[in-house]
A and B are shown apart, each in its own frame.
Chain A
Amino acid sequence: IAGITQAPTSQILAAGRRMTLRCTQDMRHNAMYWYRQDLGLGLRLIHYSNTAGTTGKGEVPDGYSVSRANTDDFPLTLASAVPSQTSVYFCASSEERGEKLFFGSGTQLSVL
């Protein structure tokens, strides 16, 4: 593994189902983030974690939850998926404050 790994690559999900998107990094970065990308809206921050054991809400947190039990993993959970959560989800990490983000390859999620 080199960088950030996201799984699954894509998923079709029935509305109302629970889903966890996985994100693992091997760079030992303290900070991690989840963004969603929607056409015409750019990338919007869902949740973030500045260090293991802490999390915070971003711009669009409703319907999502995260946990950060250790440095490497930052899963994103949709408790009860809705069609408006259809999007491409990107996990990212950064080494230091103000530094560039390293992104995973994304998860295409479709909620029907």
Chain B
Amino acid sequence: AQKVTQAQTEISVVEKEDVTLDCVYETRDTTYYLFWYKQPPSGELVFLIRRNSFDEQNEISGRYSWNFQKSTSSFNFTITASQVVDSAVYFCALSEAPETSGSRLTFGEGTQLTVNP
């Protein structure tokens, strides 16, 4: 069975600090997808990134970057120069064997990030 673990329940930083959110996953499949979603205080779920299991290239999007390492089954998310607007709950998720399971995502527990001014 697939599993996603976000060991950091809460993180608090001061604005402009860099912060890394950890995500570790378990799966027996060789084909899978990893996702990150953001849930701001308003409650909606905002898609941030999707990565397939065959692409280990790191990705950067503005202040956001993602480090995918199959050797350690991790898909960590770093925010550089954090801002107050980054305060949110962040979820890591895994979609296993998409040919048979559709996009059924297994989510981690979430990490509450608070960025203080």
Contacts and interface: CB of A to CB of B under 8 A. Distances in A.
Instruction: Say whether A and B bind each other.
Output: yes
A100 B37 CA distance: 10
Interface in A40-55: 40-45, 48, 50
Contact of A31 (B4, B33, B47, B103): B103
B43 A105 contact: yes
Contacts of A100: 35, 47, 50, 103
A44 B109 CA distance: 10
Interface stretch (B70-78, B79-87, B91-99): B91-99
B102 A43 contact: no
Contacts of B109: 40-42
Interface residues of B, number: 26
Nearest to B44: A105
B9 interface: yes
Interface string B90-117: 0101010011011111111110000000
B14 interface: no
Interface residues of A, number: 26
B43 A31 contact: no
Of B9, B93, B103, B108, chain A has the most CB atoms within 10 Å of the CB of B103
A67 interface: no
Given A43-B91, A90-B45, A98 B98 contact: yes
A61 interface: no
Given A40-B109, A58-B104, A97-B101, 11 more contacts: A33-B103, A41-B109, A42-B107, A42-B108, A50-B102, A97-B99, A97-B103, A98-B33, A98-B52, A103-B45, A106-B44
18 contacts: A31-B102, A40-B109, A42-B4, A42-B6, A42-B91, A43-B107, A44-B107, A50-B102, A94-B102, A94-B103, A97-B99, A97-B101, A98-B52, A98-B103, A101-B47, A103-B44, A105-B44, A106-B43
Interface of A: 31, 33, 35, 40-45, 48, 50, 58-59, 88, 90, 94, 96-103, 105-106
